[in-house]
Structure 1
Amino acid sequence: MNDSKIIQVEERVPLKRGIPLSIQHTFAMFSASVLVPYLLGISPAIALLMNGVGTLIFIFVTKGKSPAYLGSSFAFISPALLVINNPQLGYQYALGGFVITGLIFIAVAVIIKFVGVRWIDIVLPPAAMGPVVALIGLELAKNAAQNGGIVAPDGAKDFSIDPKFAAVFLVTLAMAVFGQVLLRGFAAAIAILISIIVGYCLALAVGIVDFSNVAQASWLALPNFLYPKFSLQAILIIIPASLVVISEHIGHQVVTSEIVGRNLLEDPGLHSTLLSDGISTTLSGLCGSVPTTTYGENIGVMAITKVYSVWVIGGAAVFSICLAFIGKASGLIQTIPAPVMGGVSFLLYGMIAASGIRLMVDEKIDYARPRNLALTSVIFITGLSGAYIQIGSVKLTGMCLATVVGMAMGLLLYVLDHFHLTNDYEEK
């Protein structure tokens, strides 16, 4: 395919070229998308199925005008783990929170249809949104280190680092880091996948891979569907992350618009793309999967290949759905040892944290203004200090509490500005 040739959004691609291009998109999202269910302790098959279904829903609702792949959202890992690890709750109650989150996306899409997006900057201005995004990664740093076998698990009294685990962790991490730096073209887009393959091969060599799941799995199998249960405590823990995903969604649509040379915020419209994400997330929660979000990895593939066709994205979605029903493939994915995922997580979580910092840099936040310094400082300390608020059986802590605090401060500052009471008020 001619490198200078741009394949636009609505253009069809010949099958002999479309198949490898679709598989390429599947590889780009694969490692990150299956990492989320892996960390939450569920089969990746249901996530692969609902990612594919969600992407097809996105294409249908937006009438094929916005190329995007919906993968598993990282924003919900931390609050979901709080719900899962609560002995009175569990994963099914997290699913209830996911369903409500999807309905929130749909409600926000309706609001955006009529009032635009300015209110989001009022609730969580950039000086607040940046640290909230960063906290998603920072809060999970310990989890990555524990998976890598370099930090003692919670509650462990006697702990020593296993040299085999440490070697696999370090090699996987090194491949992920240097793959980002040294690889070019499509190889750079799948550097994370390459690092998993290299780490997995080393894990095989040192004998820490368990193939029992593959032996027990059938060649064809239905994904493990679960129905949601609803608890106010679980819902209140999970829904603060929805604001982060909404902000991420808006950013991805802006970036994609620049890549394809069209204003996707106007046509098909931000309300249309967010509605699609909301329907996908709601359906995922009802079926036992994790929330979905537009994937930056696939946006990167489009930027590199100059292939923006929704037909290629749709092909990737179909491939993901097919993969979900191959039992042996799902079992093989589950044989990936913790040190491999720990090495990948070490970089990915750091990248999530860095994306929050990048947001603050891109927005050119003026930290000479006391409000910005106060917002960022209080949110970071709230999220990292271990502080919590107990309201009955509901406990808000970490990123969830930081988001609530950031929203409260943002709204308060907006009211004070309205009455010209702040010493750095600027009329706009």
Structure 2
Amino acid sequence: MSKKHIIQVEEKVPGKLLLPLSLQHMFAMFGASVLVPFLFGINPAIVLFMNGIGTLLFILITKGKAPAYLGSSFAFIAPANIVISKFGYPYALGGFVAVGFCGCLLAFIIKKCGTKWIDIVLPPAAMGPVVALIGLELSATAANNAGLLGDNIQISNVCVFLITLGVAVLGNICFRKFLSVIPILIAIICGYIAAICFGLVDFSAVIDAPLFALPNFTTPKFDINAILMILPVILVITSEHIGHQVVTGKIINRDLIKEPGLHRSLFGDNFSTMISGLIGSVPTTTYGENIGVMAITGVYSVQVIAGAAIISIICSFVGPLSALIQTIPGPVIGGISFLLYGMIGTSGLRILVDQHVDYSINKNLILTSIVFVTGLSSITLDFGGIQLTGMVLACIIAMILSLLFYTLEKFNLTNDN
């Protein structure tokens, strides 16, 4: 990143650059974010609206010091679907509100207790692979979105995927000046044109869309049983949030856990989820795709992310714009995600290098080994409809082992002493 012109978090972006850079961020998160409302059977317009509002709230709460775009959270899918099938969507919204409220309370506890415990429960030998898993476990999702998995692989999907990925890779290596900061946007445009040529884009929804339409706002209903089914997700989203803040901090070369503080970013994340539940949208979370965009482009400005949020809000009210964005096919999203997820994985490995983790020390070797194997093994633990797997399960195992090793060291019971 040292060879790139870095646009730092607080820097203002020239007007002619703001729109393309903002569009780049919005398109990066769009594919994954609108998938969640489709799975819940709701109109994605309300999600586009809340993604924008949630992102602006997050920027405000973190004092503009933590660049992050908030999109739809996948952590809630399994328990929310159970609640929707038994009680209905409004009761799932009540669960979202409850989780967001409890997350806000947790943020206040962290403010009082501090964050030194993170270095104990997630030392670099554990944090590095946990962060890497954020990207690595999503690699199959990128391939699936591109239509590259399964027995019936279409050559058109493969071609569009390769064109999109190829432009993103070569653009990041070869583009200069202004083009060097928008390789993702250029790749999406090239991939979209290729998709049109291969007949993968249907414009009928754009033609039929009303010029102006309000998002479908829905109020929540509360039931203790429904809330208890969804509440354990707070463990998942907290682990995910810490990982995202650490990897973003490494990319922008700042300690976001200390400034603006984990309590602020966690509160912003959960407050957005609570508001989402109150108006009928899905829970939000900081997005790995946008972290990847920052890693590739060197543009960290919160002004750009705020611009993307405003565009998302506008699209939620303008029918043809919302419909047009939804025509971006899976191979284009998959091609971009393929690179972005890999960048997150590399950022996790960077933690190991930057912290000079010594693998001649047995506890470091064991921690990294167990975390990687757990996260990539597809092992799943199910607790009342909440599935612990991948990065989240690996993070929990890492915390348990780290606490165990810390205790053993205190009593001089390890052979590393």
TM-score above 0.5, yes or no? yes
Q: Give the number of aligned pairs.
A: 400
Q: What is the match of residue 244 of structure 1?
A: 240
One-letter amino acid matched to 1:279: F
Q: Is the 8 A contact 1:51 1:72 kept in 2?
A: yes
Once the two structures are overlaid, the 10-residue window that deviates more, 174-183 or 225-234, is 225-234
> Shift in Å at residue 119 of structure 1?
0.8
One-letter amino acid matched to 2:51: N
One-letter amino acid matched to 1:143: T
Pairwise CA RMSD: 3.8
TM-score by length of 2: 0.80
Q: Distance in 1 between matches of 2:392 and 2:379?
A: 11
> Shift in Å at residue 139 of structure 1?
2.3
Matched position secondary structure for 2:353: helix
Mapping for residues 97-246 of structure 1, pairs under 5 Å = 99=97, 102-103=100-101, 105-152=103-150, 159-225=151-217, 230=226, 232-236=228-232, 239-246=235-242
> Shift in Å at residue 401 of structure 1?
2.2
> Shift in Å at residue 205 of structure 1?
0.9
> Shift in Å at residue 321 of structure 1?
1.9
One-letter amino acid matched to 1:197: I
Q: What is the match of residue 155 of structure 1?
A: none
> Shift in Å at residue 195 of structure 1?
1.2
> Shift in Å at residue 91 of structure 1?
8.2
Q: What is the match of residue 19 of structure 2?
A: 23
Q: What is the match of residue 275 of structure 2?
A: 283
One-letter amino acid matched to 2:164: T
Q: Distance in 2 between matches of 1:313 and 1:392?
A: 37
Q: Is the 8 A contact 1:19 1:315 kept in 2?
A: no
Q: Is the 8 A contact 1:97 1:239 kept in 2?
A: no
Q: Distance in 1 between matches of 2:389 and 2:299?
A: 40
Q: What is the match of residue 271 of structure 1?
A: 263
TM-score by length of 1: 0.78
Q: Is the 8 A contact 2:181 2:298 kept in 1?
A: no
Q: Does 1:50 align with 2:50?
A: yes
Matched position secondary structure for 2:191: helix
Unaligned runs of at least 5 residues, structure 1: 153-158
The superposition leaves residues 298-348 of structure 1 with CA deviations (integer Å, 9 ceiling, x where unpaired) of 86799659xx6x777655543432232111111111111122122222222
Q: Distance in 1 between matches of 2:385 and 2:56?
A: 39
Q: Is the 8 A contact 2:104 2:267 kept in 1?
A: yes
Q: What is the match of residue 293 of structure 1?
A: 286
Once the two structures are overlaid, the 10-residue window that deviates more, 392-401 or 343-352, is 392-401
Q: Is the 8 A contact 2:66 2:265 kept in 1?
A: no
Matched position secondary structure for 2:232: helix
One-letter amino acid matched to 2:165: L
Name the CA shift for 1:312/1:176 in 2 (closer, same or farther; >3 Å): closer
> Shift in Å at residue 284 of structure 1?
3.0
> Shift in Å at residue 113 of structure 1?
2.6
Name the CA shift for 1:169/1:413 in 2 (closer, same or farther; >3 Å): same
Q: Does 1:35 align with 2:31?
A: yes
Percent same amino acid at aligned positions? 44
Q: Is the 8 A contact 1:148 1:338 kept in 2?
A: yes
**Match among 344, 367, 370 for residue 352 of structure 1:** 344
Q: Does 1:68 align with 2:60?
A: no
Unaligned runs of at least 5 residues, structure 2: none
> Shift in Å at residue 289 of structure 1?
3.2
> Shift in Å at residue 171 of structure 1?
0.9
> Shift in Å at residue 134 of structure 1?
2.2
The superposition leaves residues 156-181 of structure 1 with CA deviations (integer Å, 9 ceiling, x where unpaired) of xxx33222121111111111222222
> Shift in Å at residue 391 of structure 1?
4.1
Name the CA shift for 1:219/1:92 in 2 (closer, same or farther; >3 Å): same
Q: Is the 8 A contact 2:131 2:344 kept in 1?
A: yes
Q: What is the match of residue 358 of structure 2?
A: 366
The superposition leaves residues 25-76 of structure 1 with CA deviations (integer Å, 9 ceiling, x where unpaired) of 42231122212223435455334322332233234445x5636353327xx4
> Shift in Å at residue 224 of structure 1?
4.1
**Match among 393, 398, 412 for residue 406 of structure 1:** 398
Q: Distance in 1 between matches of 2:396 and 2:219?
A: 28
One-letter amino acid matched to 2:282: S
> Shift in Å at residue 250 of structure 1?
5.0
One-letter amino acid matched to 2:31: L
